[in-house]
Amino acid sequence: MDDPPSPPPPVTMTTAQQNRSASSPNNQPASLKRSKSSRFKTRRRKTTDKAGTNGGNTCFTSAQNTCSILATKYHSYFRRRPRHSASLAFAVIFIIMKLVSMASGQYAGVVFEGMCPVPECYCGLDTRNRLEVDCSSGGLNEIPTSRMSPHIEVIRITSPKGRANHVTIGRSFRQFKKLEELHIVNSNIPNIGENNFWGVLSLKLLNLTRNNINQIVDFNFRGLSNLETLSLSENHIDTLDSECFKNLTKLKVLDLSRNRIGRLVERLFYNLHMLEVLDLSDNRLRDLNADVFRDIWRLKEFRCQRCQLRSIPPLWYSLLPALKKLDLRYNELKRLQEGEFSALKSIEEIALDGNKINVLSEEAFKFTRVRTLSMSYNGLTSVDRTAFVNASVDSLDLSGNKFENLNKLIFLDLKHNLTKLDLSRNPRLKLASLLIILSENTRLKWLSVARNNYEDLPLDLFEDNRYLTHLNLSNNRLRDLFPRQFSPLINLQILDLSYNRLLGIESEVLAVFDRISSIREIRLEGNPWACDLCHVPPLHRWIQTSPIFRKGCMLPNGPFCLRCRYPSDQYDKAIIDLDEENLEWCDPYGGEYGDESRLGIFLGIGILFLILAVLAGGLIMKYQFWHTAHYYTNEENRVDTGLTPPPVDDDFEGSQQYYATINGTHTKIIATIDEKNFDPDANFYPDLGTNLNLNPLYRAGPAISPTVGSRSGGEQQHTSSFR
């Protein structure tokens, strides 16, 4: 019979192995054993720790990854050692210091592998966690690309005022295979050069704003086949060669604003089939050649502010069917043709502010569908009632014009979609016309009639505008508010009554504000508040309790602070700090805050007295003139009374004035110069030829010269002398 197999020899364990065995989960009570999932989590944390430890510089590729790795590492450490609270606090401080140091560029040496051109540049991570070199201290004579890491993704070169850069673009950028953005701004670059960006296929944005570039040719951009944004704004460009952008086949945004471009040559935008945004503002174009835009039919946004444009050819619109935003502000456009924008089927925004369009002619916006139309500061005086026929506009800006009346038929086709209307800065616009406009446009949600010099508002002005959410009545001359004016505005959210002439607000009006549950903000600053018992108590109590007002002042001198104007002892005091018990009574028709009104009355009375004095003086002068003319021109009607005129001294110097005896009547031979001028051939004394008897005894004194003599009142007389 075989002997049973001997048991295996006992396993000899070292001390370290015995310690590990004792701490093994299998040798611990069940209550202390860790679950399988817990062991898996620990194993995953160890794997993360190992990856973070062995990854080298990869853990510093982004602040987010670094924070995650450090937090995981120290969380795992203190999970195993929960009693080390002091060490835990130290670890938290350590993590914060790590992040702060990375944000301040202390880890640049690790992130950029020791290649950062300090001190003239800063190296770090941008907001998208890309490696960035920022050289903005100025004073550079060359771009320090040789000291930059080849893994750089963003380069920014600029200079502050007084420390200008003077650099050139060489071919050193070819080494940056990951470069996505290059900004060289305000650095006096004379030109872009030939093939300097060849091979930089990753570059998507090139910003060369505020330099001295004066010409663009096609070889400037060879190799930039993936470029999406190019900014050449604020240079001295006056010449653009044909097809000069043909290598930028994926370009979407082109900014040529603030240059000296006077003409756009044909095929300028050749091969830019992907272009979506074009800015030509502040150039001296004067007109747009439609053929130039044939190659950019995908264009969505066109800006040409201050281009001195006088007209737009109709073909230009039809070549841009995808255009959504058109900005032609501050040009010299004077007239819009019928259906000017009807070819723009995708248009959403049109800005024509600051042109010289005085009148909107009939059917100017026919078949135009836009979200926003802005025509402020054009000097508009009238709008034809068919200007918006079959049109649709959501937001209409007519501010800063010269309207007096607006026909309600203007809004016949707009009222179904119009939700925002700006009629501010139209001081001639009559309230009667405004009332008609608001009654027709009942769907308005936003309205501004600021700076229109309105002194009062009709009680039923907003009767049909219950959808209004924003109402701007600022910078008018409103003195009184009434509850009925605002009670229909049940959806009002923002009300601006700032910079009017309100001395106070009645408690009934404030109660209406409180009943409007949707209201969020009321602006009342800039009014000449009268801090006395007649005006301010309701307002004083309201601003302290109402949740819709900002407690009177957010800051001691903040823009929303309500301050006293009157009386003088309360001047510039915050209303919220007033004590009603110390307020004085007032004279509602006088007092200091009535000085402006009384001054106006006194001035009016003074002007009236001046006018009356001028009229009285004129009447007096007219009477004197009439009296003089009557004396000298009607003596022929006097009948001889039989009295002999007194003799005149024969030695009297001067010419003599003779009287004639005509049919027994002593008559003075005289006629005014006005009579002679009116009818030079008239014979004023037909009987003189036969009945004239000259008698020197009838001389009556010094005579006027036989030619012309002046008289008062502008009259002149003519005498005939017979010898």
pLDDT tens string 410-458:
998 899 999 999 999 999 999 999 999 999 999 999 999 999 999 999 9
| Residue 662: alpha-carbon gap to chain centroid | 87
Residue with structure tokens 């704004």? 233
pLDDT digit string, tens, across residues 196-238:
998 899 999 999 999 999 999 999 999 999 999 999 999 999 9
- Would the pLDDT of 291 be above 90? yes
Phi and psi, residue 28, nearest 5°: -105, 160
State the pLDDT at residue 233. 97
Contact 213, 235 (CB under 8 A): yes
Residue type at position 93? I
Residue 593: per-residue pLDDT: 54
Task: Give 605's pLDDT tier (boundaries 50, 70, 90).
Answer: confident
* Cβ contacts of 153-157, under 8 Å, gap ≥ 24: 153/178, 153/179, 153/180, 153/181, 154/126, 154/130, 154/179, 154/180, 154/181, 154/183, 155/179, 155/181, 155/182, 155/183, 156/132, 156/181, 156/183, 156/185, 157/183, 157/184, 157/185, 157/187
Domains of the chain are 38-104 (no CATH), 454-588 (3.80.10.10), 634-718 (no CATH)
Sign of the Cα torsion 659, 660, 662, 665 reads: positive
- Name the strand (E) or helix (H) holding 565: strand 564-566
Q: By mean pLDDT, which of 375-384, 496-505, 575-584 is the weakest? A: 575-584
Tell me the per-residue pLDDT of 458-488, one tens digit each, with 9 for 90 and over.
Answer: 999 999 999 999 999 999 999 999 999 999 9
| Predicted local confidence at residue 599, as pLDDT | 55
Average pLDDT over residues 147-156: 93
Binned at pLDDT 50, 70 and 90, residue 544 comes out as confident
On whether the pTM is more than 0.85, the answer is no
Q: Which long-range contacts (CB under 8 A, 24 or more apart) does 620-627 make?
A: 621/713, 624/712, 624/713, 625/712, 625/713, 625/714, 625/715, 626/713
Q: Cβ distance 366 to 343 under 8 Å?
A: no
Q: Quote the crossing angle between the two packed helices 63-80 and 36-54, to the nearest 10°.
A: 130
Instruction: Give the residues across from 206 on adjacent strands.
Output: 182, 230
Whether pLDDT at 560 is above 60: yes
| Poorest-pLDDT segment among 136-150, 207-221, 234-248, 708-722 | 708-722
Q: Express each pLDDT in 312-361 by its tens digit.
A: 999 999 999 999 999 999 999 999 999 999 999 999 999 999 999 999 99
Q: What is the pLDDT of residue 641?
A: 46
Which pLDDT value is given to residue 319?
A: 95
The chain-wide mean pLDDT, for the chain, equals 78
Predicted confidence at residue 551, as pLDDT, reads 55
Residue 151 has pLDDT above 50, yes or no: yes
Query: Could you tell me if residue 71 is left (phi over 0), alpha (psi between -120 and 50 degrees) or otherwise beta?
Result: alpha
Query: Each residue of 25-61: pLDDT tens digit?
Result: 444 444 444 444 444 444 444 433 433 333 333 333 4
Separation of alpha carbons 570 and 382, rounded Å:
47
Give strand pairing partners of 175: none
* Cα distance between residue 698 and residue 659, in whole Å: 6
| Residue 227 identity | L
